[in-house]
Structure 1
Amino acid sequence: MKKALFKSFVELTGNPVSSALLKSFTSSRLSLPFVKPFSNAYRINNEEMEYPISHYKSLQALFTRSLHEGARHVDSSPNTLTSPVDGVVSGTGKIAVDQTFLIKGHQYRINEIMGTSDKAAAYKDGTYYILYLSPSHYHHFHYPVTGELVSRYALGGVSYPVNSLGLRLGQSPFSTNHRLISEVMTDFGKVAIVKVGALNVNSIQLLNSSKECIKGNDFGYFSFGSTVILFLENNPDFTPTVELNSEVHVGQPIGKWNQQ
């Protein structure tokens, strides 16, 4: 029961009014009494936080916490793709333009996620990853590869919670939620990083507007619940190196390009 209550605080609902009220509450000092219970309920590792837990005066402050330097090791090999987030690999595989992605019982097409068929076509026969972040996870996102930002755009005006309830009740949540898409040109082709908001307000915050993307660098965070989707252009030398449903951390290798 306690976890269900806490989950509603950070994943919110499909109703804009109740979502706005919960957002206001979790962002205020009124939520301070819930900070330690939330941390305990989800067994959050307080030792890796940037500050002691007493520093966080609201649930949102705790949820958007940074980690102390060195808390995550980023694989430095130039030919590896690393996880952009702490989360669970809820989907991975090859991409076809007309393919549907089964996400917790619902089907989504890449052109719906990317916004247009032309945008989606660039990733035909490539590789995708779907990374789900639970309330317990660190909610910053980092670059999974080094390259140059060639496109950044936002889509969606209606949001639903990215959880089992939202996926049952929402009308194609991944294609209507507010989402921010960053496309990075790398030495191995283009990589799209799709950040999906999980509530009725924009919960995606960017830390800078630089076009320089360095693997492992923190470039933003989610204020509430979230999912990240990666799309990679087709490259016959690329091999995924992570299993479905496995837990991953920022900087951990999840794939590699086999250099000739």
Structure 2
Amino acid sequence: MTIVRSALARIAGHEGINFVLTNRIPRRWATRLFGWFSRIENPVVRDLSVATWRLFADLDLSDARTSEFRSLRDVFVRRLKDGARPVHPDPEILVSPCDAIVGAQGRVEAGQVLQVKGSAYALSDLLGDADHAARFAGGRYVTLRLTSSMYHRFHAPQDLCVESVTYIPGDTWNVNPPALRRVDRLFCRNERAPIRARLDRRGYPITLVPVAAILVAGIRLGFLGPGTELRVGGARVIPCDAALRKGEEMGWFEHGSTIILLTPEGFALHESAVEGRMIRAGQPLLRLPRDEDSTALG
């Protein structure tokens, strides 16, 4: 099994092969099909699917709340045991909203942020709103990439109030490194749902941008209320007034994807959050400005 898994990993890890296998297919059709397939409640289908999944990824279910899963989707959207993701208590720290690999990060310069080194995109294109993007001029961005085997739920990085959600329909390109290096403005092409919020701490505005990808059958936002389907109704702004505590669940992906976190000027990357390394939900990600900056409160 180890030999087979190593061979498959080498094939899947080849950049050209990986890109073709995950992008040169009918992406939306594949995503709809996978969404249907993942919901099949049959133990044989479930067990074979999970076994195949383990051939390609380090799937660890030891911290899952239950070992009983009705379908493959149940594995993807699993909840964790209480205490599995302790939340850093310092009120001056924004924690990671999700388990992820820390991707491109830095300052918003001339309205641009990096997708990967040497490839930038306009923040206004990502958010679909130039005025919204202008609020983060000179601010900080951090890209958090969730792989398929990771915990797929995401949480409030600080005590906050969600003010609105903007649903932007789009494509479903893979968001892994081979695709990020080959597809310009990838995040601006994919389906996404910018979440505008304001921190209880000093009133700073922040935005989280969940970005869908191939095989992501949906972005779900629990604070919008049960039964809310982002894809039903098309592109729109959904007003909201939802208070969430630090570490409280915000929503989930139905497969791995990406969250881009935006903050105003003055926030700093925490020293333990290193580009290219894994971070877990609840661990320190950013530090709030040391001194209150009135320009960040707009």
- Decide: shared fold, TM above 0.5: yes
Give secondary structure in 2 for the equivalent of 1:144: coil
Residue 239 (structure 1) aligned to one of 252, 268, 274: 268
Aligned residue number for residue 111 of structure 2: 98
Give secondary structure in 2 for the equivalent of 1:148: strand
Residue 50 (structure 2) aligned to one of 23, 28, 35: 35
Aligned AA for 1:153? T
Task: Show the 5 A alignment for 1:126-145.
Answer: 126-145=139-158
CA distance in 2, matches of 1:171, 1:224: 22
- C-alpha contact 1:159 1:173 (8 A) present in aligned 2: no
Aligned residue number for residue 93 of structure 2: 80
CA distance in 1, matches of 2:169, 2:186: 10
Task: Show the 5 A alignment for 1:9-158.
Answer: 14-28=26-40, 29=42, 30-39=45-54, 41-52=56-67, 55-103=68-116, 106-158=119-171
Aligned AA for 2:36? S
Moved more, 69-78 or 154-163: 154-163
Moved more, 70-79 or 182-191: 182-191
CA distance in 2, matches of 1:170, 1:110: 16
Instruction: Mark the runs of 5 or more structure 1 residues left unpaired by the alignment.
Output: none
Give secondary structure in 2 for the equivalent of 1:47: coil
Residue 224 (structure 1) aligned to one of 251, 255, 258: 255
Higher Cα Rg, which structure: 2
Aligned residue number for residue 234 of structure 2: none
**Cα distance change on mapping 1:149 and 1:46 into 2, 3 Å:** same
- C-alpha contact 2:216 2:254 (8 A) present in aligned 1: no
- C-alpha contact 1:143 1:213 (8 A) present in aligned 2: yes
Q: Identity of counterpart residues, as a percentage?
A: 26
CA distance in 2, matches of 1:33, 1:248: 29
Q: How far did residue 23 of structure 1 move?
A: 2.6
Aligned AA for 2:212? G
CA distance in 2, matches of 1:91, 1:168: 12
Q: How far did residue 155 of structure 1 move?
A: 1.1
1:211 aligns with 2:223: no
Give secondary structure in 1 for the equivalent of 2:32: helix
Q: How far did residue 40 of structure 1 move?
A: 6.5
Aligned AA for 2:223? N
- C-alpha contact 1:94 1:128 (8 A) present in aligned 2: yes
CA distance in 1, matches of 2:54, 2:212: 22
**Cα distance change on mapping 1:97 and 1:119 into 2, 3 Å:** farther
Aligned residue number for residue 162 of structure 1: 175
Aligned AA for 2:149? S
Instruction: Mark the runs of 5 or more structure 2 residues left unpaired by the alignment.
Output: 1-6, 13-17, 225-240, 292-298
CA RMSD of aligned residues (A): 2.6
CA distance in 2, matches of 1:227, 1:173: 11
**Cα distance change on mapping 1:243 and 1:18 into 2, 3 Å:** closer
**Cα distance change on mapping 1:172 and 1:240 into 2, 3 Å:** closer
Aligned AA for 2:98? V
Residues 123-142 of structure 1 show CA distances to partners (whole Å, capped at 9, x for unaligned) of: 01111100011112111010
TM-score normalised over the length of structure 2: 0.76
Q: How far did residue 259 of structure 1 move?
A: 4.4
CA distance in 1, matches of 2:55, 2:66: 16
Task: Show the 5 A alignment for 1:168-187.
Answer: 172-186=185-199, 187=201
Q: How far did residue 171 of structure 1 move?
A: 6.2
Task: Show the 5 A alignment for 1:238-257.
Answer: 238-241=267-270, 242-257=273-288
CA distance in 1, matches of 2:186, 2:53: 26
Give secondary structure in 1 for the equivalent of 2:175: coil
Q: How far did residue 148 of structure 1 move?
A: 1.4
CA distance in 2, matches of 1:201, 1:239: 31
Aligned AA for 1:125? G
- C-alpha contact 1:153 1:180 (8 A) present in aligned 2: yes
Aligned AA for 1:84? P
Runs ≥4 residues deviating over 6 A: none
